[in-house]
């Protein structure tokens, strides 16, 4: 196993990007291995690490299919539905409360 190249924060070479940067370009890693790592030092803890992928090997993002769209909408609807009052809260229910803010305030 070869060691990964490690670059300091903001010093990554051109042609490499993180997953988020690839997504902003409409790309995905596409099964390629991590090409390098980016490290951001912190004072009292270990460094933040981000994986870098080669842009030239990245593939386009897969298009959203009707089935995928329906599944995503169902999952988001479940996150917005209060288990206590069974209403759509219009926002994702905080996991710290476990119910909508209205129900949490009433109890």
Helix (H) or strand (E) holding 49: strand 48-54
Sign of the dihedral through C-alpha 19, 22, 28, 30? negative
Average the pLDDT over 55-78 and give the result.
96
pLDDT digits (tens, 9 = 90+) for 26-51: 999 999 999 999 999 999 999 999 99
Q: Residue 25: CB partners within 8 Å, gap ≥ 6? A: 17, 55, 58
Q: CA-CA distance, 55 to 66, in Å (whole number)?
A: 28
pLDDT band at 105 (very low <50, low <70, confident <90, very high): confident
Please give the pLDDT value at position 2: 65
> Rounded to the nearest 5 degrees, what angle is found at the Cα of 21, between the Cα atoms of 2 and 65?
105
Helix (H) or strand (E) holding 16: strand 16-17
Sign of the dihedral through C-alpha 77, 83, 91, 102? positive
Please give the pLDDT value at position 107: 74
Name which of 67, 59, 90, 68 is nearest 77 in CA terms.
90
């Amino acid at each position: 196993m070869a060691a990964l190249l490690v670059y300091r924060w903001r010093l990554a070479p051109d042609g490499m990007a993180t997953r988020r940067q690839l997504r902003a370009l409409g790309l995905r890693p596409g099964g390629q291995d991590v090409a390098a790592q980016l490290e951001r030092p912190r004072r009292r803890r270990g460094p933040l690490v981000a994986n870098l992928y080669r842009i030239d090997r990245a593939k386009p993002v897969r298009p959203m299919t009707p089935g995928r769209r329906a599944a995503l909408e169902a999952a988001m609807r479940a996150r917005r539905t209060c288990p206590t009052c069974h209403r759509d809260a219009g926002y994702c229910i905080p996991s710290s409360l476990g119910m909508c803010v209205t129900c949490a305030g009433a109890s």
